[in-house]
Structure 1
Amino acid sequence: MSSSLAYDREAQNDSRLDDLASKLSSLRQVTADIHSQAQDSSFLQSTSEAFSSLASSIKQSSTRLSRSSVAAYPVYKTVGFILGSVLFIYLVWKLLG
């Protein structure tokens, strides 16, 4: 009788050991999931910071472009006047020549 009792207890121990191994595996999986989510969160944070920096840079560039275009307006006007004059002289020359 003692050998069957020993086998029963050994089977119970094996069953409990399997349950414990299953719980440990689940705990490892949860830990790995938490770690991957934490990494994803930091990746999203750094991506958000990069886009924020890019938006700031674009805003600064557009501000500088608008300032330079306002400052360069007389230059464009002069160049346009010179090109128009050259075109006018060329057309008059063609008509008279």
Structure 2
Amino acid sequence: MANNKSAEKRIDIAKRNRLKNRYYKSSVRTLIKMFFQNLEIYKSSKSPEDKEKLQKTLSSVYSMIDKGTKKNVYHKNTAARKKSQLAAYLKTA
């Protein structure tokens, strides 16, 4: 337990940051799962509508990763690696 006021404040800040990080990381994981589901659908159908949906999902993943990087949830190299891997999966489709 905290022994002084500054330690109590640091506990509150850590709690706030943990919740913020959890929001971004869980959102990115969810969007990546959606991307892979759409990728499987596109691989089987090859329709332009599915490709459009896949591109839209990828765009939202990129956006969320970039926002997380801006708020120091992700390191810039981690964000770049995640985006690069997703682009590589799209390229093989």
RCO greater where, 1 or 2, for CA within 8 Å and sep 6 or more? 2
Larger Rg over CA atoms = 1
TM exceeding 0.5:
no
TM-score using structure 1 length: 0.41
